[in-house]
Structure 1
Amino acid sequence: MTTASNAPADTPFYLLGGEPTMRAIVERFYDLMDADPAYAELRAMHAPDLGMMRASLTGFLTGWAGGPRDWFEQNPGKCMMSAHRAFAITPAVSAQWAEAMQRAIADVAPANAALGKQMADTLTQMAQRMAR
Structure 2
Amino acid sequence: MNRTTPFDMVGGEPAVRAIVDRFYDLMDEDPAYAELRALHAGELDPMRHSLTGFLTAWLGGPRDWFVDNPGKCVMSLHGAIAVTAQTAQQWADAMQRAIAEHGAAQGLEADFSTKMADALRNMASAMIRKERVPA
**TM-score for both structures, normalised by structure 1:** 0.92
Q: Partner of 2:16 in structure 1?
A: 22
- Choose the corresponding residue for 1:113, options 98, 110, 122: 110
| Counterpart amino acid of residue 71 in structure 2 | G
| Counterpart amino acid of residue 47 in structure 1 | A
String of CA shifts for 1:25-66, please: whole Å, max 9, x gaps. Answer: 000000000000000000001010100000000000000100
Which stretch of structure 1 is more off in the superposition, 44-53 or 111-120? 111-120
Structure 1 stretches of at least 4 aligned residues deviating more than 2 Å after TM superposition? 110-113
Which stretch of structure 1 is more off in the superposition, 105-114 or 60-69? 105-114
Q: Partner of 1:62 in structure 2?
A: 56
RMSD: 1.0
String of CA shifts for 1:10-39, please: whole Å, max 9, x gaps. Answer: 110001111111001000000000000000
Q: Distance in 2 between matches of 1:114 and 1:67?
A: 20
**TM-score for both structures, normalised by structure 2:** 0.90
Q: Distance in 1 between matches of 2:109 and 2:73?
A: 26
Q: Distance in 2 between matches of 1:21 and 1:117?
A: 16
| Counterpart amino acid of residue 120 in structure 1 | A
SS in structure 2 of the partner of residue 63 of structure 1 = helix
Gaps of 5+ in 1: none
Confirm or deny that 1:51 pairs with 2:45: yes
Gaps of 5+ in 2: 130-135
Kept in 2: contact 1:33–1:40 (CA 8 A): yes
SS in structure 2 of the partner of residue 29 of structure 1 = helix
How many residue pairs were aligned?
126
